[in-house]
Amino acid sequence: KAGVTQTPRYLIKTRGQQVTLSCSPISGHRSVSWYQQTPGQGLQFLFEYFSETQRNKGNFPGRFSGRQFSNSRSEMNVSTLELGDSALYLCASSVDTGELFFGEGSRLTVL
């Protein structure tokens, strides 16, 4: 069974640009969650989607957005990038039990 796939794995952007990250969940998983991981802050919850609907949202500014498609694939977008957005962005899928299956992450560097 294929795991959670995130693309791209690494990317470098400059301040003010926008970025789109993609996540393909495990087949049959309808819930997709996104987290931001930074040293010292751990994993910060961004949002969670289930059947194309955002069910939960963390405390991030509106520059962070996401969506989920009918095949459960999800994307997250960050607009007007800031230096502080540099982080590892993790996607996790689930069958809705709370147990999360993580991808390897997309490492974003903002210069």
Contact positions vs other proteins (CB under 8 A): 3, 31, 33, 35, 40-45, 48, 50, 55-56, 90, 92, 94, 96-105
Asked if residues 81 and 15 have their Cβ atoms less than 8 Å apart, the reply is yes
Closest residue by Cα to residue 26 from 99, 101, 90, 85: 101
Q: How far apart are the first and last CA of the chain?
A: 37
Question: In this complex, which beta carbon is closest to other proteins, that of residue 103 or of residue 110?
Answer: 103
Give me the least distance between CB of 59 and other proteins, in Å please: 8
Question: In this complex, which beta carbon is closest to other proteins, that of residue 81 or of residue 100?
Answer: 100
Give me the least distance between CB of 48 and other proteins, in Å please: 4
Q: Where are the alpha helices (DSSP H) in 1-111?
A: none
